[in-house]
Structure 1
Amino acid sequence: MSPDISDILSEILKHTKFALEAGESMDITGQAHLAFVRFDNEGKIMENFLCCKELPDMSLYLESCGLSWNQHAPSMTGSVKGFVSCVKEILKQVLDVTVNMVNFIKQRPLESRMFARLCENMQEDHVTLFT
């Protein structure tokens, strides 16, 4: 997007609540990274292309535009529905699986030794899991 259009859109979004919609368009690496924004502009609901960034880079992009996740409309940040709550649920699932794997390895001496050998073979700096 051209810098002047991006600046105009950022200025509008600074003064209104907006809803961020992450697109499912995939690039060659299989990453979804299109983002559209919906907002109220003088009584009209507008939809506009915001950026083409991966989710981790989205926060940096919003900050560079002077925007914040806190400006999202309630439908985006709801505790039961919305984009932010969906991301939190996915992260929770990933962390739960990770904790279960760590606990499985730590509670079994054979698996702990196998994990240490795996790390040594991969020439990692650390060969044990933290307690």
Structure 2
Amino acid sequence: MDRFLIRNNKKPNDGTQNSEPAPKKKKYDESSVKVRRYLSEYLGLGFSATKSDPVNAQCVLCGQVLANSSMKPAHMNWYCAPFSCRNCLEIAKVASVSSKALRASYAVSYLVAKQKKPHTIAECLILPALVKVSEIMFDTKTATALQSTPVSNNTISRRIEDIASDIVMQVIEQIKLTKMFALQLDESTDVSGEAQVIVFVRYQDCSDIRENILFCQNLQSRTTGEELFKVIDKFFAEGGILWDWCLSVCSDGAAALTGKNNGLMAWIRKKNPKVKWLHCIIHRQALPSKRMNAHLHKTLNEAVKVINFIEARPLNSRMFKLLRN
């Protein structure tokens, strides 16, 4: 047991003996640290600036703030181009959609728009029905692949807008090639009180005459001929369409459209005096009614009053059906 009682010959360092002092730490020399200055060119690399002092670079995709030592163009370019950042890479993987799923999304959106159905029908009915049919007819793997098709409400809305814009651009390109077209337009107020102008265009495509809707826009203020002309002329200016290519305009006999002084045709003829005006075939019955025989005209008015009375209320319509049966 004696060996356990043998003390170390070294004297304890209690602070009273001659112990070697601890080496002093070097003071932090702030002047030796190089602080990089944020440049506006870093926006091209995908980085915005923070409000801290000193200013650091912040990734615009994931929001991560880089250290001062990483604010080199080479480091920043490697960090975020293309999606080299770990956070951005995860976002890109989640947001990536296969080409087949993208084509399927556009195809479904086109069907929804063609059938004039609500945008939510794709997510609530079409996709679940496809998944269920695939599970029954094929296998679970096929049904799982179908679930990756983006058909949400906002997605369908964006797809329809893209399809509509592409169709309008194709029509504009055809008009520019032929440099001859005719317009058919009308202005009306819907049940919500919004004034809208809809314009159809007829042009020659190779050896065939085609007719497509050109645009439909709301009128912000009045429905005068001048306001109608401003809307159409703005669309023509943005699309690069010249009024000299317009051959004729078809509309009803409203004063805002056919007025000699302030009507739409008066403004159009200021741009192209050779434009011809045609009365719409749907409203042509209004023209002979103005010059009809007095007795026949009275009979026609009575018939119109009877029809308006029947269609004015649902009860009148139901009673008329019982009377007819």
Residues 18 and 37, structure 1, Cα contact 8 Å, conserved in 2: yes
Who wins on radius of gyration, i.e. which is larger?
Answer: 2
TM-score normalized by structure 1? 0.53
- Which residues of structure 1 form unaligned runs of 5+? 77-84, 93-131
- Deviation of the 1:30 alpha carbon: 5.8
- Deviation of the 1:5 alpha carbon: 1.1
Q: In the alignment, residue 23 of structure 1 is paired with which amino acid? A: D
Alpha-carbon distance between aligned partners in 2 of 1:33 and 1:46, rounded to the nearest angstrom? 21
Report how many aligned residue pairs link the two structures: 83
**Percent identity of equivalent pairs:** 28
The aligned counterpart of 2:242 is 68
- Deviation of the 1:29 alpha carbon: 3.7
- Deviation of the 1:6 alpha carbon: 1.2
The aligned counterpart of 2:170 is 8
Q: In the alignment, residue 176 of structure 2 is paired with which amino acid? A: K
Residues 196 and 216, structure 2, Cα contact 8 Å, conserved in 1: no
Alpha-carbon distance between aligned partners in 2 of 1:46 and 1:61, rounded to the nearest angstrom? 20
Alpha-carbon distance between aligned partners in 2 of 1:14 and 1:50, rounded to the nearest angstrom? 14
- Which residues of structure 2 form unaligned runs of 5+? 1-160, 220-227, 250-256, 264-325
Change in 2 beyond 3 A, CA 1:3/1:48: same
Which piece of structure 1 moves more, 56-65 or 28-37?
28-37
Q: In the alignment, residue 243 of structure 2 is paired with which amino acid? A: W
1:24-53, Cα deviation, whole Å (9 max, x unpaired): 443344634000001111111111000013
Cα RMSD, aligned residues only: 2.5
The aligned counterpart of 1:23 is 186
Secondary structure (helix, strand or coil) at the match of 1:33 reads strand
Q: How do residues 53-92 of structure 1 correspond to structure 2 at under 5 angstroms?
A: 53=217, 54=219, 55=228, 56-73=230-247, 75-76=248-249, 86=258, 89-91=260-262
TM-score normalized by structure 2? 0.23
Q: In the alignment, residue 206 of structure 2 is paired with which amino acid? A: E
Q: In the alignment, residue 212 of structure 2 is paired with which amino acid? A: N
